[in-house]
A and B are shown apart, each in its own frame.
Chain A
């Protein structure tokens, strides 16, 4: 069974640009969550999608957005990039059904803003 796949693995962008990251969940998982990981702040929740609906959003500015498609694949977009957006962006998928809420992470996308 394939795991969570994130693309691309690495990105270098310039301040002010925008970026789109992609996540394909484990087959059968309908919940996709996004997290930002930095050395100072640790893992911070961005948002969660289930069946194309955003159910939770973390405390990030509106420059961070996401969506989920009918096949459960998800994308997140960051507009007007800032140096502080440099981080490891992680996607996790889960079945999110009672008794089974385990979340599995992809390999992440390392974003560097210069």
Chain B
């Protein structure tokens, strides 16, 4: 069964600090990985996608993928109170899969 595990949180960081969110997955055939941000009462918003091993940076966000360790992470630099939300990691498995499998999410609180 394809599963995604995220650190449960809640994770509290002070404003300006780096927030580190982690996710492990069980399906070695996984090819595409995503991070979504979901504010309370809202729908998930795609913030990062990563397809190959290594780091991918976009503004204050950096996604890191290590397929050998089946591990994907999201770093948020200079955390702001507006980053307070639940962060969901998700993946497609190998070729022929069109469903995203989501982790349960990590709730992040950025303290001013």
Binding site for B on A (CB under 8 A): 31, 33, 35, 42-43, 45, 48, 50, 55-56, 58, 88, 90, 92, 96, 99, 101-108
Whether a CB of chain A sits under 8 angstroms from the CB of B80 is no
Contacts A33-B98, A42-B88 aside, 14 further interface pairs with beta carbons under 8 A come to A33-B100, A35-B102, A43-B44, A43-B88, A43-B90, A45-B101, A48-B99, A56-B97, A58-B99, A96-B98, A99-B51, A103-B46, A105-B43, A108-B43
- Chain A residue at minimal CB-CB distance from B36: A105
Chain A residues closer than 8 Å to B103, beta-carbon distance: 42
The answer to whether B104 and A56 touch across the interface, beta carbons within 8 angstroms, is no
Q: How many residues of B contact A (CB 8 A)?
A: 22
Nearest Cβ in chain A — how far from B41, in angstroms?
A: 9
Q: How far is the CB of A9 from chain B (nearest CB, A)?
A: 11
Of A55, A58, A101, A106, the contact of B92 (CB 8 Å cutoff): A101
Q: Could you tell me the distance in whole angstroms from the C-beta of B31 to the nearest C-beta in chain A?
A: 8
